[in-house]
């Protein structure tokens, strides 16, 4: 099994989490972390970041769409 794609997602999540420390209201970062978690099959992790994204911007269509699509 090739774990390189998974390791790439983890690396990107870590980078985005680091960026969030100085820009915690960046919905693009929050949405991308959620998308990466979904690609990894981690729905609880994705739900957490989608919730945070919607708390910042209630009309965030990306976050709303992902929540609906994945029933989170």
Q: In which residue ranges of the chain is pLDDT below 50?
A: none
The predicted model scores a pTM of 0.95
Q: What CATH class is the domain 4-69?
A: mainly alpha
> What was the pLDDT predicted at 1?
87
pLDDT tens-digit series, residues 35-54:
999 999 999 999 999 999 99
- Residue listed under structure tokens 């420390």: 21
DSSP-derived secondary structure for 9-48: HHHHHHHHHHHHTT-TT-HHHHHHHHHHHHHHT-HHHHHH
């Amino acid at each position: 099994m090739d774990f390189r794609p998974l390791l790439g997602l983890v690396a990107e999540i870590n980078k985005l989490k680091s960026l969030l420390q100085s820009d915690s209201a960046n919905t693009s970062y929050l949405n991308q972390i959620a998308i990466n978690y979904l690609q990894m099959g981690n729905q609880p992790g994705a739900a957490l970041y989608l919730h945070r994204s919607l708390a910042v911007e209630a009309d965030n269509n990306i976050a709303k769409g992902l929540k609906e699509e994945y029933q989170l």
